[in-house]
């Protein structure tokens, strides 16, 4: 079995659309995992995945990089806080937000903090999705070590977290507005009428064709005037062809 055959077999058996991921990167990750397990070929590894749930979990862990933190790239989050969110809130008091590829929940909870501060009467809805059920369980638990919270001010820590057994636990006030669920950006249908879609540090793993397709689908999922927020190292070069207007380097708008 070659690498393509492996990807197809894994796709069929576990419903993972591995063809959408950048091939070199993906292969490097899978090869190093196989080497660490002493597995020499793809068929043997595929058979191992079929019979061993723990190995399937490790495999998914390796292809989905789950690193995240609260207010990742704080200077960019400041633009969201000071410019983008106030404008969206002027247009609609009850925001519908989608955090796509939400990892451990630090991103959607950061968004929930901003919403709570700027619209204390509530009513916003934050959908937070990821393909990795293991990391979604971590996100739902909402329990974090200090390292993930370096960009959270002492005032926010005091207001939105309880300190328990050396960890910071997200308070009910934030949890209420965040809905976590499984969603594969490469396979599953996208929702509609979002005011804000946040998809950061996810597209970097996908091929250029898949990125374009995803951005087209994000555009259709936004309400007119809604905004897509992407990662610090990302850019959408052909945003005009795709139908977006650029607000700033990391913010793209569906024309109103
Ligand atoms: C590096 S994290 C980014 C987390 C957060 N957005 C941030 O910027 O801090 C990438 C996340 O994308 C998720 N992911 C990878 N492939 C995905 C897919 N096909 N559909 C949905 N999520 C995916 C991974 O499971 C991982 O949690």
Q: What is the pLDDT of residues 93-138, one digit of tens each?
A: 899 999 999 999 999 999 999 999 999 888 899 999 999 999 999 9
Beta bridge partners of 170: 161
Q: Model confidence at 17, in pLDDT bands (50, 70, 90)?
A: confident
Cα of 89 to ligand 1 centre, how many Å? 26
Q: Is the CB of 7 under 6 A from ligand 1?
A: no
How remote is the CA of residue 66 from the centroid of ligand 1, in Å? 6
Nearest to 135 by CA among 160, 108, 173: 108
Ligand 1 pocket, residue 72 CB under 6 Å: yes
**Residue 213: half-sphere exposure toward Cβ, Cα within 13 Å:** 12
Q: Would you tell me the crossing angle of helices 133-141 and 53-63 to the nearest 10 degrees?
A: 80
Residue nearest to atom 17 of ligand 1 (CA): 131
Structural Rg of the chain based on CA atoms: 19
Q: What is the pLDDT of residue 197?
A: 98
Span 141-169, mean pLDDT? 96
With the most atoms of ligand 1 within 8 angstroms of its CB, the residue from 106, 107, 202 to mutate is: 202
Give the chain's mean pLDDT.
95
Is 108's C-beta closer than 6 angstroms to any atom of ligand 1? no
> Which strand (E) or helix (H) includes residue 224?
strand 222-230
Task: Give tens-digit pLDDT for 165-179.
Answer: 999 999 999 999 999
Judge if the beta carbon of residue 103 lies within 6 A of ligand 1. Answer: yes
pLDDT score, position 115: 96
Q: How remote is the CA of residue 114 from the centroid of ligand 1, in Å?
A: 21
At 148 the pLDDT is 95
How far apart CA 254 and CA 156 sit, in angstroms, is: 31
Q: How far is the CA of 246 from the centre of ligand 1 (A)?
A: 23
- Taking the centre of ligand 1 as the mean of its atom positions, its distance from the CA of residue 121, in whole angstroms, is 30
As a whole number, mean pLDDT of residues 200-224 equals 96
- Residue 140 CA, ligand 1 centroid: distance in Å: 15
Is any ligand 1 atom within 6 A of the Cβ of residue 185? yes
- The predicted pLDDT at position 16 comes to 84
Q: What was the pLDDT predicted at 36?
A: 94
CA angle, 111 as apex, 72 and 118 as ends, to 5°? Answer: 125
State the pLDDT confidence band at 79, using cuts at 50, 70 and 90.
very high
Residue 23 — very low, low, confident or very high, per pLDDT cuts 50/70/90? Answer: very high
Share of the chain above pLDDT 70, in %: 100
Count how many residues are written for the chain: 256
- DSSP structure class, residue 179: E
Q: Please give the distance, rounded to the nearest whole angstrom, from the Cα atom of residue 234 to the centre of ligand 1.
A: 14
Using the atom order of ligand 1, give the atom closest to the CA of residue 20. Answer: 19
Query: Checking DSSP bridges between strand 245-248 and strand 222-230, what pairing results, if any?
Result: unpaired
3-state secondary structure of 251: strand
DSSP state of 119: -
- SS3 (DSSP) at 203: helix
Q: Are 99 and 126 in contact (CB under 8 A)?
A: yes
């Amino acid at each position: 079995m070659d690498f393509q055959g492996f990807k197809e077999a894994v796709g069929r058996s576990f419903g993972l659309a591995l063809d959408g991921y950048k091939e070199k990167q993906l292969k490097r990750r899978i090869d190093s995992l196989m080497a660490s397990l002493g597995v020499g070929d793809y068929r043997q590894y595929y058979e191992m995945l079929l019979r061993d749930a723990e190995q399937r979990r490790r495999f998914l862990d390796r292809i989905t990089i789950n690193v995240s933190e609260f207010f990742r790239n704080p200077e960019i989050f400041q633009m969201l806080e000071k410019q983008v969110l106030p404008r969206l809130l002027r247009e609609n008091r009850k925001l519908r937000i989608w955090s796509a590829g939400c990892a451990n929940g630090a991103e959607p909870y950061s968004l929930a903090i901003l919403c709570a501060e700027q619209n204390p009467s509530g009513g916003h809805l934050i959908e937070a999705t990821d393909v990795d059920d293991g990391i979604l369980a971590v996100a739902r638990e909402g329990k974090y070590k200090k390292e993930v919270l370096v960009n959270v001010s002492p005032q926010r820590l005091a207001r939105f977290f309880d300190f328990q057994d050396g960890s910071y636990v997200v308070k009910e006030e934030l949890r209420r507005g965040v809905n976590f669920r499984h969603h594969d950006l490469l396979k599953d249908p996208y929702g509609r009428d979002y005011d804000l879609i946040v998809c950061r540090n996810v597209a970097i793993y996908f091929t250029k064709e898949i990125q374009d397709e995803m951005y087209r689908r994000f555009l259709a999922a936004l309400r007119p005037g809604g905004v897509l927020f992407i990662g610090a190292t990302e850019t959408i070069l052909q945003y005009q062809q795709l139908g977006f207007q650029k607000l700033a380097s990391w913010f793209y708008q569906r024309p109103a």
